[in-house]
Each structure stands twice: as C-alpha cells, then as structure tokens.
Amino acid sequence: MKVAMVTGASSGFGEATARQLIALGWCVIGTGRRAERLQALAAELGEHFHPLVFDVSERKACEEAVASLPPALSSIDLLVNNAGLALGLEPAHEAELDNWQRMIETNINGLIVMTRLISPGMVERGSGTIINISSVAANYAYPGANVYGATKAFVSQFSLNLRADLHGSSVRVTSIEPGLCKTEFSLVRFGGDAKAADVPYADTEFLSADDVASAVVWVAEQPAHININRLELMPVSQSFAGFPIHRKN
Ligand code: NDP
Ligand code: 8X3
C-alpha cells in the first residue's frame, strides 16, 4: 500500500486530499496541530488514516514526529506540503511583524524542514513525489499579500530548485498554485472574524477544497515517468488585475 504524508490535514485542501487518497487505496499520515480534528478524521476514515499531531513551524517537533513513525509508515511515497496560512491583509507598512514571522515560520520553515526530513528516503528508494502547495499569490501581486505572497513565491521557486537537485533520482516535485478557494483559510487570515472572512467569497463562485485535492491526486497518480512541474488553477470568476496607475487629479 502506498503511503502519503499530508501536512495540514485537519481542514481544507489537506483534509480533502486525505479523503481522496484513502478512497483510492492510499494510506495517509495526516498532520496538523488540532489533535481532536485529526482524531475525528481517524475515527471516520478508519485504519488507513494515521493522525500525527505537531506544529510544522517547530523544527524539533517535525523531527520527533517523523522519527516516531512506525516502520510500516516510514517509507513515504508522497509528501504533500500543504500546511500553511495567511495572517492579515494590511498594507506592508501597517502589518503585524508577528504575523509576518509566523507565515515565514509555517509556510517556509515548516515546508523546508519536512522536505529535508522526507526526501532522503525517497532518493534512497529511487522513487517518490513531493507536492508543494503554493498559491496564485506567488505569481501575481495584490494589495495586502506582501509577506504571504512572498512565502508562496519561495514555495514555487524552492519546488523548481528542488526538482533541479533531484534530477536523476526519479523523485518528482510539483508546485500547485491555486486561486480563490473556500476553506478555513480566510477565517484564519482574519483572526476568526467570520464576517470579514466571508467577503472574498461573496456573490461569486470559488474553488472547493475537493477541486484542489483532485489536482493534487491527479499529479500524484501520473505515470512515474511524468513530472508536472507546476499547476496553477483558479475559479473562472477570478483573473488578473491590471497595473493600477495613480493619477495626480
Ligand atoms: P485551512 O486553514 O483550511 O487549512 C490549513 C491547514 O494547515 C490546517 O490543517 C492547519 O492545521 C494546517 N496548519 C497551519 N499552520 C500549521 C502549523 N503551524 N503546523 C501544522 N499545521 C498547520 O486552509 P487551506 O486548506 O485553504 O490551506 C492549505 C494550503 O493552501 C495553505 O498552504 C494555503 O496557504 C494554501 N492556499 C490556500 C488557498 C485558498 O484560497 N484557500 C489558495 C492557495 C493556496 P492546524 O490548524 O490543525 O494546525
Ligand atoms: C490564497 C489565495 O488569492 O487569497 O493563497 O492569496 S489568495
């Protein structure tokens, strides 16, 4: 049975990905900080879902969590680096430095630590897939995205650089770059303010967590000789802003 580790499986894309992978016969190690969420998923999804509770932003916790895996789960075929968050939408000169720090620690530090821990086994076995969840915010600027978008640009570029390093190893690397999708993402971004969190989704059609999970699963299930380098998806309702020009009058 193939083993996947999905970070951030306690909600959103990660949870949907865990569900889809299990339905296709994978065994999934689902990670997150909220133990009760992961336990509830384990109770629902059965023996093929293994909860692993730790904070990806704490290097020691990542190391201990990976070291705690039983032999049957320690050869990971698929790593989905999905855990991440945006905090705030203020312009850079008004943003909370603590929020910036937390985004960097989670979206960048967490992702590189998990990659560094899991990739050597893949290289040794000569097979494996790493899927990093980036964002359209990596590719296009928008007001208030400042550090969040920059962390995702890191994720996209790190994915390409990782692929360059893994050339010849048969290990695959993909950056998935989704646009507007309704999960708990916005609630987290706005500090639990449900009214503010609903604004991006008002009167429009957005991606579902299942849409993104389907992209993850599609990438993972490609024949072994195909590497999807990057995959950007948006709802049809979303596209690109022009360059705003500030006029003198
Ligand atoms: P959710 O808030 O629904 O899920 C985020 C997941 O990440 C949760 O399971 C959460 O688990 C986990 N997580 C966050 N911080 C940590 C941490 N420090 N340690 C461990 N786990 C953590 O949002 P999404 O599903 O939307 O987000 C998933 C990824 O997709 C993120 O990287 C996000 O940036 C990205 N993304 C989201 C888009 C969207 O519009 N929704 C679009 C493009 C990209 P817990 O709280 O239990 O720790
Ligand atoms: C999440 C999508 O557009 O809110 O990465 O930045 S967006």
Which tens digits make up the pLDDT trace of 168-207?
Answer: 999 999 999 999 999 999 999 999 999 999 999 999 999 9
Question: Token digits for 182?
Answer: 């309704």
Please state the atom number of ligand 1 nearest to the C-alpha of residue 105.
18
Q: Residue 249 has what pLDDT?
A: 84
Q: How much is the average pLDDT of 203-214?
A: 98
Q: If pLDDT is split at 50, 70 and 90, which confidence band does 42 have? A: very high
Please state the atom number of ligand 2 nearest to the C-alpha of residue 185.
1
pLDDT at 129 exceeding the cut of 90: yes
Please work out whether the CB of residue 85 comes within 6 Å of at least one atom of ligand 1: yes
Q: Is the pTM of this model over 0.75?
A: yes
As a whole number, the mean pLDDT across the chain is 98
CA atoms within 13 Å, Cβ hemisphere of 89: 16
Alpha-carbon torsion (87, 93, 98, 103), positive or negative: positive
Q: Residue 106 has what pLDDT?
A: 99
CB atoms closer than 10 angstroms to residue 89:
18
Cα-Cα-Cα-Cα torsion 51, 57, 61, 66, nearest 10 degrees, comes to 60
Residues in contact with 140: Cβ distance below 8 Å, sequence separation at least 6, in sequence order? 240, 241
Q: How much is the average pLDDT of 1-16?
A: 98
| Distance of CA 180 from the midpoint of ligand 2 (Å) | 6
How far, in Å, CA of 243 to CA of 120, rounded? 43
| Distance of CA 137 from the midpoint of ligand 2 (Å) | 5
Percent of the chain at pLDDT above 70? 100
Reply yes or no on whether 148 is catalytic.
Answer: yes
Best mutation site among 10, 38, 159 for ligand 1 pocket (most ligand atoms within 8 Å of CB):
10
Q: Residue 40 has what pLDDT?
A: 98
Task: Give the chain's radius of gyration (CA, Å).
Answer: 18
Q: Residue 2 has what pLDDT?
A: 98
Q: If pLDDT is split at 50, 70 and 90, which confidence band does 94 have? A: very high
194 secondary structure, DSSP code: H
| Distance of CA 240 from the midpoint of ligand 2 (Å) | 13
CB atoms closer than 10 angstroms to residue 140:
16
Cα–Cα separations (whole angstroms), residue 46 to 18, 38, 42, 223: 12, 12, 6, 28
Q: If pLDDT is split at 50, 70 and 90, which confidence band does 167 have? A: very high
Any bridge partners for residue 132, and if so which?
Answer: 81, 175
Q: Look at the domain 3-233 and name its fold.
A: Rossmann fold (3.40.50)
